[in-house]
Structure 1
């Protein structure tokens, strides 16, 4: 893919959106990781910039849409990252060296990336089966990784991912966020699978079902007929608010 240099004049200076996009598939909590469109072992969480005429939340929504094709998904701002030393200069220096960006013009094109940036962290939850991955000028590839098998990431992206994961765990019981990883209609077994995967523990089914129903956020629908009628589980969806 041809390298496209972003024009810094189009964006809010030295502020980025770092969005950790979570999905659930085959009993695994997964995160979307970009292989950056340069030579070298440069992997990153999903990153973008804020346009001068754009709200922060709209920017985060756009950054997710550009990679997944989905709009209006669940987004939660969880932390701002503003340490003076975020290894930005080291990353850019290595990128320039590996990619033989030797001319003054080429290096100047990347100079604004080396300056200190403040990052606003969001995490996103979505139905992975609805995603249609699309590459931007920043991405060589996009890959879903198991949360425990993510490759080494650039700069402080591993720290950002860790903080996003912690926030997800803290938020699930209070904000009922886990349901956003499921399709529109789901069974109670699907919900239990999500919780057991995220918290890495098993739940007693009757107790778990009672706990979930006491939240009073689900609407029971028709049964999901897959075999014997007396064993068919009910389908649920999130109540309209």
Structure 2
């Protein structure tokens, strides 16, 4: 095995890892960041090991920074994945032997590939600010629409499903949007974000009335111009009020 990779494994918790479902909203679609493994056609979620001197949350922040280039990320743990056959959708031996050319002839070693638990973290990022960067095992990044996600390696399809359910539940008690939309946005753009996450259409008037009632939006004197229809006003989140709503988990009856 490559000495640097071996040192990396030996400096981490070998049976605990972190996997991240990174959501980005772009052109009216909710997307997830995927990575393609070297020497294979297999795609997975971003992830990594936990260094021995790190806390779990510090490791998650580091991994997200390495993959996205962002320092301030909305990040929360949403589930622990510990099934006794997390490789059931793949030929584990075949996959890792395909990686021997990149990592050394003994990469597929049972002492490194024991069953392990993965802590699932969910991140919400502004799509345009992300500089997607592969990790040790991968050489390509791709943003994929939720509806078009292929069969992923390991149990990562299940992770995306569980993360999306967690995000939908969150809409009932916390605001969503600060990390997914640009600084200035229109009410229809905000509504489209909620509809995409929930997978259903919402009444325009009721949605606007409800969002304004939470007192987390600031209406700007500017309008979105250049469209075919009447130019809508722009809004932005009041960061102080938004953060307070996040802390207090105000009921959001969307």
TM-score tier, shorter chain, comes to 0.7 to 0.9
Tell which deviates more after alignment, 172-181 or 107-116.
107-116
Kept in 1, the 8 Å contact 2:82–2:117? The answer is yes
Work out the CA distance in 2 between the residues paired with 1:199 and 1:188. Answer: 17
Aligned ranges for residues 61-140 of structure 1 at < 5 Å? 61-87=61-87, 91-99=91-99, 106-107=105-106, 110-140=109-139
How big is the alpha-carbon RMSD for the aligned residues of Structure 1 and Structure 2? 2.6
- Is the 8 Å Cα contact of residues 10 and 52 (structure 1) preserved in structure 2? yes
Q: 1:155 to 1:217 in 2, by over 3 A?
A: same
User: Residues 156, 205 of structure 1: CA spacing in aligned structure 2 closer, same or farther, 3 A cutoff?
Assistant: same
Distance 1:200 1:161 in 2: 15
Give distance in 1, aligned partners of 2:237 and 2:171.
Answer: 17
Deviation of the 1:216 alpha carbon: 2.3
Correspondence list, 1:160-171, <5 A? 160-171=159-170
Structure 2 residue aligned with 1:10: 11
Once residues 112 and 148 of structure 2 are traced to their aligned partners in structure 1, the CA distance between those partners, rounded to angstroms, is: 28
Query: Is the alpha carbon distance of 1:111 and 1:217 closer, same or farther for their aligned partners in structure 2, counting shifts above 3 Å?
Result: same
Structure-2 residue corresponding to 1:25: 26
Q: Distance in 1 between matches of 2:59 and 2:132?
A: 18
Q: Note if contact 2:93-2:108 (Cα within 8 Å) is conserved in structure 1.
A: no
C-alpha displacement of 1:224: 2.5
Deviation at 1:231, TM superposition (A): 4.2
Whether the 8 Å CA contact 1:45–1:157 is kept in 2: the answer is yes
- Unaligned 5+ runs, structure 2: 244-254
* Aligned-partner Cα distance in 2 for 1:209–1:217: 12
TM-score by length of 1: 0.87
- Deviation track 1:18-77 (CA, whole Å, cap 9, x = no partner) reads 10000011111100001012x222210111111111121111111111111011111121
**Are 2:45 and 1:45 aligned?**
yes
Matches within 5 A, 1:144-155: 144-155=143-154
Assess if the C-alpha contact under 8 Å between 1:12 and 1:51 holds in 2.
Answer: yes
SS at match of 1:179: coil
How many angstroms apart in 2 are the aligned matches of 1:187 and 1:108? 50
Counterparts of 2:42 and 2:36, CA distance in 1: 6
Structure 2 counterpart of 1:214: 213
Gaps of 5+ in 1: none
Question: Partner of 2:41: helix, strand, or coil?
Answer: coil
CA distance in 2, matches of 1:109, 1:231: 58
Instruction: Report what 2:199 is aligned to.
Output: 200
89-98 or 171-180, which deviates more? 89-98
